[in-house]
């Protein structure tokens, strides 16, 4: 990468990355408006599902916690225009959390070990498998004061709040709401894969695939299995880590029986404040993300998403915590690309908060190997790779 200069990267950032940012921002704005209307309509039919306007610290259950809301606003002021429920995984693939209401006073508890039922409630001869590292069961008894509406056989089995059943109820309400709001020409429900609710949203720029996931937002609570920050690490600071943990985590209905742990608020704050010392971390992330989308891993369903790159950036920041480690723009981009190449080649990328979970565990290995070849080609000849990228614009 010796023939790639800081000036080359700055030009790439200006000509390609900023263009991408403007286009994506416009799409996010369009999608946000449509999904907000739809989820507002869904909420009017079933108050357990909230509008995405009430996601994160805007959740109605946090109105009595002004200090937390003030802290969030101060951290993200001028840094993040997106709704906290929206995650842009690629320019045409979004993940949107739909907040759930009525589950108050969460407490982590020791769960029952065996479940003997199908999703219809029938008993099985053998137990349902236990959740993996990034998943957990969720029971009504996990909450001090669940609303009466959650004692509903359409949502629960033997005291468990079952993600697949929650998603089924949400999907039925969503399909009705699309018609009620007269949005059939802008939103269409796609064939589901697993328990996901997938819709195609027509915007002024492009068609966006959106994955809508009912989500339990748990503020002011940090799960015991997320042992973070790690001992003797200098990034982020102890004060910042304590602040981030106060925003809690989410449980997302993304599988049949088990709820997925998500730390999207923590990740949003980490990324938004990542260059307070004047470093070039975020610039490096944006350049590498653009290179990935332009040539290494394009398409609507990439095997490597922005979430993977964000996770890689956090690990790199933890290993290189000093300001001086993030002053050489070209060198820092190279370091991040090399680390990406290593992770993709080894099919291994640890989750930042749950270290024992490999984010690439179920990724297509052939696709990963192909991405690794393209990244290796870039490392050998970055100028040619960028030229090819420009020709595709």
pLDDT tens profile 26-48 = 999 999 999 999 999 999 999 99
Separation of CA 41 from chain center:
24
| Residue 283 CB contacts under 8 Å (≥ 6 apart), including other chains | 13, 275, 329
Q: State the pLDDT confidence band at 68, using cuts at 50, 70 and 90.
A: low
Model pLDDT, residue 119 = 86
pLDDT at 273: 87
Q: Quick check: 73 pLDDT over 80?
A: no
The model's confidence at residue 110, banded by pLDDT at 50, 70 and 90, is confident
Give dist(CA 91, CA 301) in Å, integer: 10
Per-residue pLDDT of 335-365, as tens digits, reads 999 999 999 999 999 999 999 999 999 999 9
The answer to whether the CB of 351 falls within 8 A of the CB of 357 is yes
- How far is the CA of 194 from the CAs of 92, 257, 321, 338, in angstroms? 20, 11, 40, 34
Q: What is the pLDDT of residue 232?
A: 82
Q: Once rounded to an integer, what is the mean pLDDT over residues 136-146? A: 93
**What is the mean pLDDT of the segment spanning 271-280?**
91
Let me know: does 137 contact 259? Beta carbons within 8 Å. yes
Q: Identify any residues that bridge with 358 across adjacent strands, giving them in sequence order.
A: 350
pLDDT at 271: 92
Residue 63, pLDDT score: 57
Contact yes or no for 128/117 (Cβ under 8 A): yes
Q: Convert the pLDDT of each residue in 151-201 to its tens digit.
A: 999 999 999 999 999 999 999 999 999 999 999 999 999 998 778 899 999
Whether the predicted pLDDT of 384 surpasses 60: no
Query: Cβ atoms within 10 A of the Cβ of 275, count?
Result: 17
Q: What is the pLDDT of residue 121?
A: 84
Six token digits for residue 6: 């800081």
Local structure of residue 67 (DSSP, 8 states): H
Q: Report the alpha-carbon distance of residue 223 to residue 341 in Å, rounded.
A: 31
Answer left, alpha or beta for residue 238, where phi above 0 means left and psi between -120 and 50 means alpha.
alpha
Percent of the chain whose pLDDT exceeds 90: 67
Is residue 78 left, alpha or beta, with left meaning phi > 0 and alpha meaning psi from -120 to 50? left
Residue 67 — pLDDT band, cuts 50, 70, 90? low
> For residue 264, what are its two tokens?
């999207």
Chain center to CA of 186: 24
Confidence check: pLDDT of 2 > 70: no
Whether 60 shows a pLDDT value over 70: the answer reads: no
What is the predicted pLDDT for the residue at 1?
46
Whole-number pLDDT of residue 46: 97
In the 8-state DSSP scheme, what is residue 160?
A: E
Vertex 296 angle, CA 292 and 297, to 5°: 75
Over residues 215-235, mean pLDDT: 91
The pLDDT value given to residue 356 = 94
DSSP 109: -
Looking at residue 18, what is its pLDDT?
86
Q: Burial code of 333-369, b = ≥16 C-beta within 10 A, e = fewer?
A: bbbbbebbbebbeeeebbbbbbeebbbbeebeeebbe
Which phi and psi angles does 142 have, rounded to 5°? -75, -10
- Average pLDDT value for the chain: 89
In this structure, are residues 108 and 143 in contact, taking their beta carbons and an 8 Å threshold? Answer: no
Q: How does pLDDT run across 317-336, given as a tens digit for each residue?
A: 999 999 999 999 999 999 99
List 234's β-bridge partners, or say none: none
105's CB contacts (< 8 A; 6+ apart) are: 143, 144, 145
pLDDT at 385 over 90: no
- Mean pLDDT along residues 6-22: 84
């Amino acid at each position: 990468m010796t023939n790639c200069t800081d000036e080359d990267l700055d030009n790439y950032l200006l000509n390609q990355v900023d263009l991408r940012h403007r286009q994506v921002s416009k799409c996010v704005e369009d999608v946000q408006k449509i999904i907000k209307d739809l989820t507002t309509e869904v909420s009017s039919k079933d108050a357990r599902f909230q509008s995405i306007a009430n996601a994160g610290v805007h959740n109605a259950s946090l109105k009595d916690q002004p200090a937390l809301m003030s802290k969030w606003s101060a951290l993200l002021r001028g840094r993040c225009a997106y709704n906290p429920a929206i995650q842009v995984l690629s320019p045409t693939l979004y993940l949107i959390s739909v907040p759930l209401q009525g589950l108050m006073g969460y407490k982590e508890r020791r769960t029952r070990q065996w479940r003997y039922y199908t999703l219809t409630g029938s008993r099985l001869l053998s137990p349902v498998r236990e959740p993996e590292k990034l998943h957990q069961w969720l029971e009504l008894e996990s909450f001090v004061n669940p609303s009466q509406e959650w004692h509903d056989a359409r949502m629960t089995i033997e005291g468990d709040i079952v993600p697949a059943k929650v998603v089924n109820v949400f999907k039925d309400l969503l399909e009705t709401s699309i018609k009620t709001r007269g949005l059939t020409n802008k939103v269409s429900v796609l064939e589901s894969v697993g328990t996901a609710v997938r819709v195609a949203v027509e915007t002024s720029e492009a068609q966006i695939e959106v994955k809508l996931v009912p989500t339990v937002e748990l503020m002011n609570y940090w799960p015991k299995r997320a042992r973070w920050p790690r001992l003797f690490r200098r990034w982020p600071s102890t004060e910042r880590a304590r602040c981030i943990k106060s925003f809690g985590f989410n449980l997302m209905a993304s599988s049949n029986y088990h709820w997925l742990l998500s730390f999207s608020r923590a990740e949003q704050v980490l990324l938004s404040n990542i260059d307070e010392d004047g470093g070039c971390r975020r610039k490096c992330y944006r350049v590498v993300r653009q290179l990935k989308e332009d040539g290494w891993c394009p398409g609507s369903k990439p095997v490597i998403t922005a979430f993977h790159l964000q996770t890689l950036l956090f690990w790199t920041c933890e290993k290189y915590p000093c300001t001086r480690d993030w002053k050489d723009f070209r060198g820092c981009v190279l370091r991040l690309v090399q680390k990406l190449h290593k992770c993709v080649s080894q099919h291994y990328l640890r989750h930042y908060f749950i270290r024992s979970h490999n984010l690439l565990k179920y990724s297509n290995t052939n696709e990963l190997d192909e991405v690794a070849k393209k990244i290796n080609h870039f490392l050998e000849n970055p100028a040619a790779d960028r030229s090819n990228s420009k020709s595709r614009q």
